[in-house]
Chain A
Amino acid sequence: MNGAYSERRIIVYVIFIAMGLAYILRLYYMQIIDDSYKLDASNEAFRHITQYPPRGCIFDRNRKLLVTNEAAYDIMVVPSQVTGIDTVSFCKDLNITRDDFIAGIKKAIALNTATHPSVFLKEVTPEIYASFEEKMYKYHGFSAEVRTIRRYPMKIAPHLLGYIGEVSKELCARNPKYKEGDYIGISGMEESYEGELGGTKGEKIMMMDAMNRVVGEYKNGKYSKPPDPGDNLTCTLDARLQAYGEKLMANKAGSIVAIEPSTGEILALVSSPEYDPNLLVGSVRARNYADLAEDSITIPLFNRALMAHYPPGSTFKPIEALIGQQEGTLTPNTTYFCPGAFIMGSNVHIACDSRHGSLQLEDAIAKSCNTYFCNVFVAMMNNRAYASTEEAFDSWRKYVVSFGFGTRLDIDLPSALRGNVPTSEHYDKTFGEGRWKPGTIAWLGIGQGELEVTPLQLANEAAIIANRGYFITPHVVKSIGDNKGPGKKYTIRHYAPVDEKYFGIVVDGMSDAVSGGTAAASQIPGIIMCGKTGTAQNPDGRDNSLFIAFAPKDTPKIAISVVVERGGWGADWAAPIASLMIEKYLTDTVKRTDLEQRMMAGNTIQYLIDEKTKPKVDKKSTSAALKHKKKRTG
């Protein structure tokens, strides 16, 4: 009935089913296994528009605004949509030339093709944008994206606050959170609190048609993500004190670091010379940065407070006094005779400022006697409790490090350096194993030689003495966001391994230094300040003027270190500046206006400039220079 070939229907079934199966397998491959088409789909039909979060503001400890945001406008262009534009008026509105216009369009095409939006002009100010916006409807293909740029209303603390800039290509490659063109904190608090200040970018998902025109927001924004603004920070800085410190340091190279001893909060962090932080903002940043970076003599971008290394000089003597007492090789009654120099054998001759005669510990601190402290150090090295000088030295070094020297101190600012506390290995290498004697390194007793410290470490030293034995790691953040405090590590007390009872005599000595010793000219009426001058040898030129202090003596509210490079005697510049800072902080009004005027007007940076610009005669290593130079400390 069905002809002779009925069985051929089987072949037909096979053909039909084979087609169905093959196509379903192909669908399975395209829709489930292969991912490439899915990615393409998001690229073609969606445009992800980044929503930039406002960066967190920074306030000082009294809620004064230090860093804020200001609107700036990125002019965007889709080159293929640019038609019939009056380029003359366009260029006039944006304050650019015709060549800039052509170059901008070409760059956009090269960067992102003609049909995709690219940045045409970056960070246009609100003033310029206002006139441009009125006519934007006539400029087909152009649009604007709001960005924020940083503003520093008080123009202070550039090194501490830091600046932001475009994220590097390397970081983009490493961290998917960042895309080229994003801004990121590059130094200071902007860098160390990038995570808190930066916020989280949001995203709008817009739907595009095949002509690359926006059709609307995908699912009315259901999948869009609003940006999460950065947290505001309250920093520990006292803006008033910081501004005052910056004024005092005008025309000087050096730094001021002020710490609240009971909390470790940094009240002021001045690095001089400085610059207006507003220079490193927006479209002018690149040019200004290059100008600042070009100054290789005073190096304004260099944060001296955290990075500069100085021999501490006599400011180190209180440390020696504390270690000596704890080790039992020194008591308040230990008496040494000062003939005007410390002499040991034929090789060691370290000069003192005057012939102090016989004196005891408190006096030796107040008068800053080099002879006395070289003897204190040698006595420690000769301590019978240790088998060798090397062992005694290693023990001494452990003490010194416990005071924060030779460590980064873990401050919440990037780029703090550790300074240098020499090791016995170092001396073994320099002089040969077992061939160095206490006399060989006696200058360590007066803070000279290989010892190098940063101004932050000096201020921390002052805070330890003020606290009679401990410090809290110095930090610049008081609170994050609404109520988050600084990290736990900024509340822990770090005790130096010196008993509290040994601090009294040192504090008295430092008090004497101000009331009638080396820093007598820096007394503050009505306030008992404890301080220690330092006049640190400098192989390249004039001495550095140093001072550490805290006040009031019994209930310390502020601990401070001041360094004035090439300032000469510690009492000349550093001590008066520190005393003015303390007076300002504790009383709010400075009564010693003559001194204030003199300090503000003083110019010591010229010595540094002269030294660096004049041809150098001789350049020897620090230790070699020290050997041949007459020692002098304040």
Chain B
Amino acid sequence: MPDRRKNIVPNIDWFTISLYVFLVFIGWLNIYSAVYNPAHPHIFDTSQRYGKQIIWIFTAFLMAFLIMLTEASFFSVFSYILYGMVLLSLVAVIFIGRNVKGSHSWFHIGSISIQPAELGIFAINLGLAKYLSGDGITIKRAGVFMRALALIFIPMLAIVLQNETGVAVTYTAFVIVLYREGLSGNILLSILFTALLFIMALVVSKIILTGILVGIALIFFFMFTMRKTKDLFRTAAILILSVTILWGAGYGLKKLEPHQRDRIEVFLHPNLNKSKQGYNLNQAKIAIGSGSFWGKGYLEGTQTKFHFVPEQATDFIFCTLCEEWGFAGASVVLFLFVVLLIRLVILAERQRSAFSRIYGYGVASILFIHIAINAGMTLGLMPVIGIPLPFFSYGGSSLWAFTILLFIFLRLDADRLQVLK
């Protein structure tokens, strides 16, 4: 055993680990600033959030260490079991979970709260990787595709039922994994097209949009001579589907929960009613805007400090960063995130095992969607969805979730030379 450990240490990707530690540290500094309380300036004061975050960070490091000690094959072998356990808890929490602001997504064990939707995402990733890396599995087959979708959609549905739509949205990140594994690019495009259509439907008149769609269909029909009747039918089918989505969007919006509708309304009309739904977003924008190039300086933020920006230690932590460290600091952090994502893809691509590769893509995709949505919403580019910024946001549950997710992959990567398939 001793020489085995000796073997893997040089194979660990220390670059990624350094990035991880650095981001966690910067995140913690920001939490300290966001909740900075001159009455409790001591960084280890556990009555304050920055004190608690220290505990989360150390436990996260401990978990990372334990994961590195675990046999790599454990994750492959136990992936379905872990998937099953998480799915079970996702369903169980709907009935057992305490009602927190209308959602039933948290287990409360003593003073610790755990959100399985967040924490368990590594297991969903493992399950999906296991299935897609199976012998003779190719996503081109409709059955495989449907089963893979089911692996994603079932936990998503449970999370929606917990009233955590925001977290459920992050599961759509697996589309990138499916794409890498051979999913038709057309499907990726149609998803983008549908999303675009949905948003357009809320902004532009539906009648005009319908006209435009019919126009495009006609252009296709006449300009590119349709050789087969199949093409004609396909064009007609896409047109009908698009128009249905278009008219369904308005109806769907009406069916949404009021707070979800508000968020979409605010995103589409940023100046609407600044004091109510738009308040959070507007305050966040003010905080960012006031940061200028070099920022106001550490602990010198005014907007984030005096509670203008709500949830500034959790969902809106990016604001604190932008206000105090300015364009310079925020760009560096965004740059480091992109470096991390690309590094993860490089690592994934160097895996000999499909399981490790798919899992790695999952990690990159999940981190990507969190960063894109969280930073995007504070920048006013995305609707407000209450999900954390990886490694930055306050809270043990999310930090643990991302740490476990990441380090399982780093463990798999460290073992890449041992595995042939």
Contact = CB atoms under 8 A, between A and B. Distances in A.
Interface string A1-41: 11111101101110111011011101110111010111011
A46 B335 CA distance: 32
Nearest to B338: A20
Interface string A257-296: 0000000000000000000000000000000000000000
A293 to B, nearest CB: 46
Given A30-B379, A45-B302, A9 B176 contact: no
B288 interface: yes
Interface stretch (B27-35, B118-126, B226-234, B364-372): B364-372
Interface string A170-212: 0000000000000000000000000000000000000111110
B338 A3 contact: no
Contact of B289 (A9, A37, A215): A37
Given A3-B181, A31-B326, A41-B302, A23 B379 contact: yes
| Chain B: number of interface residues, binned into ranges | 35 or more
A34 B326 CA distance: 14
Contact of A31 (B291, B335, B352): B291
B406 interface: no
B91 interface: no
A16 B338 contact: yes
B285 interface: yes
Interface of A is mostly: helix
A201 to B, nearest CB: 23
Interface string B283-296: 10111111111000
B72 interface: no
A44 interface: yes
Contact of A19 (B182, B345, B357, B372): B372
Contacts of B380: 26
Given A16-B342, A22-B381, A209-B306, A37 B334 contact: no
A27 B349 CA distance: 32
B36 to A, nearest CB: 12
A37 to B, nearest CB: 2
A515 B37 CA distance: 90
Contacts of A207: 302, 306
Interface in B299-336: 302-303, 306-308, 322, 326-327, 330-331, 334-335
B312 to A, nearest CB: 11
Contacts of B322: 27, 31
A3 B182 contact: yes
Given A3-B357, A32-B293, A210-B308, A27 B288 contact: yes
Contact of A8 (B180, B303, B335): B180
Given A4-B182, A209-B307, A31 B288 contact: yes
B334 A5 contact: no
A46 B302 contact: yes
Most chain B CB atoms below 10 A, which of A16, A17, A38: A16
Contact of B307 (A1, A8, A34, A210): A210
A45 B323 CA distance: 13
Interface of B: 176, 179-182, 283, 285-293, 302-303, 306-308, 322, 326-327, 330-331, 334-335, 337-338, 341-342, 345, 349, 351-352, 354, 357, 361, 364, 368, 371-372, 375-376, 379-381
Interface of A: 1-6, 8-9, 11-13, 15-17, 19-20, 22-24, 26-28, 30-32, 34, 36-38, 40-42, 44-46, 207-211, 215, 218
Q: Which 7 A-B pairs have the closest CB atoms?
A: A37-B289, A41-B290, A20-B338, A209-B306, A45-B302, A31-B327, A210-B307
30 contacts: A2-B349, A5-B182, A6-B349, A8-B179, A9-B180, A9-B345, A12-B345, A13-B345, A19-B338, A19-B368, A20-B335, A20-B338, A23-B375, A24-B334, A27-B288, A27-B327, A27-B334, A30-B379, A32-B327, A36-B289, A37-B286, A38-B289, A40-B289, A41-B286, A41-B290, A41-B303, A44-B303, A45-B303, A209-B306, A210-B306
